[in-house]
Structure 1
Amino acid sequence: MRNLELLYSVQLSPLKDLEHIQCSAVDYDTGVIYCASSKCIVGLNPKDGQITGVVSLLTDDYMPTDGSGKVVGIQCIPDQQSVCVAIDNGNLLVWNVLVGDLECVGNVESGFTSMCWSPDLELLVLTTGQETMIMMTREFDPVTEKSLHPEQFGSAEFVTVGWGKKETQFHGSVGKQAATIKPEDEKPALPWDDRKPRISWRGDGQFFVVSTISPISGKYFLF
């Protein structure tokens, strides 16, 4: 991080619509910053400090009016001139910033815990309150849904063929040397961890990973 250099900073006057911001995203084509709170989504031009647009999230009960709702993810989609937000109550919303329409494009009863779009904005991944992962296309068509805590997974999983010692058993793609490797002690999640899933894509958009915590062992788990 030592090679980072601050180019400029902007100080804005306090704005009521920008209170208690939970998530933000940047439209890199226009430079507008979109901020989401438990009440609304706001577009802000940092160059002049002007609000470019505001839409209420309390419309049609998309968010609870008592302020207890939380936006768990936000993404700007420049070519559609829209902003997508995922809410912890399970609503997936799209705000068309050009015409001002706010539309609910999907709902999951167990709620959302995180959202992350691929770098090319062709796919999005969401995690739910039922500890599942959902992948969708940019048109919000489901691609797949998987449990975040499968009993077995991975090509390196040991395969027991029912005979011989551990050293002579088939060990999958990791080879026989796996029999002599001592497993590292897995550390449980730290007390200050919020225990919420995190999604991250590789830069080329070919792979992504979901970091979560096992409900049984309390240890970190990568899916």
Structure 2
Amino acid sequence: MRNLQLLEQCKSRLSFQDLSQSKAFTAVDPDSGDVYAAWFTDDTVKVALRDQHSDFANDFVELCRLPAFERNDGGNVIIDLLYLPDAQAACLCLNTGDIALISKERFNAGGEALEIVGTVDSGILSMSWSPDQEVVVVITGASTVLEMTRDFDTITEFPLDTNEEGEGVSHSVGWGKKETQFHGSEGKAAAQRKADINTYTTSPDDDQQPRISWRGDGSFYVVSSVDPSKDSRVLRVYNREGELQNTSEPVDKLEHVLNWRPSGNLIASTQRLPHRHDIVFFERNGLRHGEFTLRETSEHKVIELQWNADSSILAVWLQTQQNDTIKKTGMFRYSY
């Protein structure tokens, strides 16, 4: 396995006091290299910019502030921050339900950098833009899935929790059954073994928050959420129009992390078992497709997973009480 190599670094100054109790979000303008940063402190979300072409390129300049509040469930105050080239602004989403565009051009012209473009009254739990940035999907505080255009016009809205399994289930002709699929190290016998899925639950590390991840071509997206009727995580795959296609098979202690491989063949998540911690894979039809076990001890959590652009490497963000670690693994280690 190749080691990560540092190609470039740049030190920029922000208030340590501001960041000491907050998770910072960043977004990059790919054309200019400008970096937007957002963080939460003292009931306020602050947004700052490091302008590559200013006289103080190593410093962040504060652009705006928004009132916010701590969540009772321990989730993030800031849900998402992403630069939108067509809008020439960074899109900021907060748990309060506010969606805002932050513009460097307006700020430099002496105006307000911040523009609130919409608010979801019930709040926002998760948000993800399609790869082409034409569609944005939001999980609301009312447990609905809300699809909008890039101009934030509603396309569709429907309940997150459902007993339906999706349109794709009726098209199975045998090869799509669990018994005929690849099952990793446990083998086919384990797949055929009857399990009491009523005992399945979430991992102790689960943050209980929903996640959204798009396939690389933008045709489908997957939502991971805790189903209240099962008290365990479920993956649901939707097409771009918001129509449910497939629901994952039951998996005990499936965790919150989620990332769809850009090439489209695998959805990655994690599973915390009593004796090991696995990175697990699913197909688009919701069936398990192998796994590998992390070598770390039990004194860690998986915070996020992220594929690289060409789908050859999966990065795993691990956190312990002492530090954070980034692992990477190449898909040549697995058969699929």
TM-score bracket relative to the smaller structure: 0.7 to 0.9
Write the distance in 2 (CA, Å) between the matches of 1:139 and 1:78: 13
Which residue number corresponds to residue 12 of structure 1? 12
Q: In the alignment, does 2:88 pair up with 1:81?
A: yes
Q: In the alignment, does 2:49 pair up with 1:43?
A: yes
SS of residue in 1 equivalent to 2:167? coil
Q: In the alignment, does 2:217 pair up with 1:204?
A: yes
Write the distance in 1 (CA, Å) between the matches of 2:136 and 2:194: 33
Which residue number corresponds to residue 141 of structure 2? 129
Contact 1:114 1:126 in 2 (8 A): yes
The one-letter amino acid paired with 2:28 is V
- Once the two structures are superposed, residues 123-166 of structure 1 have per-residue CA deviations (whole angstroms, 9 ceiling, x without a partner) of 11111111111111111100111211112131354xxxxxxxxx
Match of 1:72 among 66, 79, 95: 79
Q: In the alignment, does 2:66 pair up with 1:57?
A: yes
Aligned Cα root-mean-square deviation (Å): 2.8
What number of residue pairs does the alignment pair up?
A: 203
SS of residue in 2 equivalent to 1:80? coil
Shift in Å, 1:191: 0.6
Which residue number corresponds to residue 156 of structure 2? 144
- Once the two structures are superposed, residues 69-89 of structure 1 have per-residue CA deviations (whole angstroms, 9 ceiling, x without a partner) of 811111111232211111111
Please, which runs of 5 or more residues in structure 1 have no aligned partner?
A: 158-171
SS of residue in 2 equivalent to 1:99? helix
Write the distance in 2 (CA, Å) between the matches of 1:178 and 1:204: 22
Shift in Å, 1:175: 2.8
Write the distance in 1 (CA, Å) between the matches of 2:116 and 2:60: 23
Shift in Å, 1:45: 4.1
Write the distance in 2 (CA, Å) between the matches of 1:216 and 1:27: 42
Write the distance in 2 (CA, Å) between the matches of 1:145 and 1:199: 15
The structure that has the greater radius of gyration is 1
Write the distance in 1 (CA, Å) between the matches of 2:18 and 2:63: 10
Shift in Å, 1:9: 2.1
Cα 1:219–1:152 change in 2 (3 A) is: same
SS of residue in 1 equivalent to 2:171? helix
Match of 1:216 among 205, 209, 229: 229
Which residue number corresponds to residue 174 of structure 1? 172
- Once the two structures are superposed, residues 73-121 of structure 1 have per-residue CA deviations (whole angstroms, 9 ceiling, x without a partner) of 1111123221111111111112222103322222122110111111111
Write the distance in 2 (CA, Å) between the matches of 1:129 and 1:72: 12
- Once the two structures are superposed, residues 20-77 of structure 1 have per-residue CA deviations (whole angstroms, 9 ceiling, x without a partner) of 343221111111221112221111247931225511113xxxx34xx66811111111
Shift in Å, 1:11: 2.8
4+ long deviations beyond 6 Å: 177-180
Cα 1:95–1:177 change in 2 (3 A) is: closer
Cα 1:16–1:4 change in 2 (3 A) is: closer
Contact 1:18 1:35 in 2 (8 A): no
Cα 1:94–1:184 change in 2 (3 A) is: farther
Write the distance in 1 (CA, Å) between the matches of 2:66 and 2:33: 23
Cα 1:199–1:3 change in 2 (3 A) is: farther
Which residue number corresponds to residue 119 of structure 1? 131
The one-letter amino acid paired with 1:87 is L
Q: Which range moves more in the overlay, 132-141 or 44-53?
A: 44-53
TM-score (norm 1): 0.78
Write the distance in 1 (CA, Å) between the matches of 2:142 and 2:193: 30
Which residue number corresponds to residue 308 of structure 2? none
Write the distance in 2 (CA, Å) between the matches of 1:87 and 1:77: 17
Contact 2:135 2:149 in 1 (8 A): yes
Please, which runs of 5 or more residues in structure 2 have no aligned partner?
A: 180-191, 237-336
The one-letter amino acid paired with 2:173 is G
Write the distance in 2 (CA, Å) between the matches of 1:75 and 1:117: 9
Contact 1:22 1:36 in 2 (8 A): yes
The one-letter amino acid paired with 1:211 is S
Cα 1:121–1:213 change in 2 (3 A) is: same
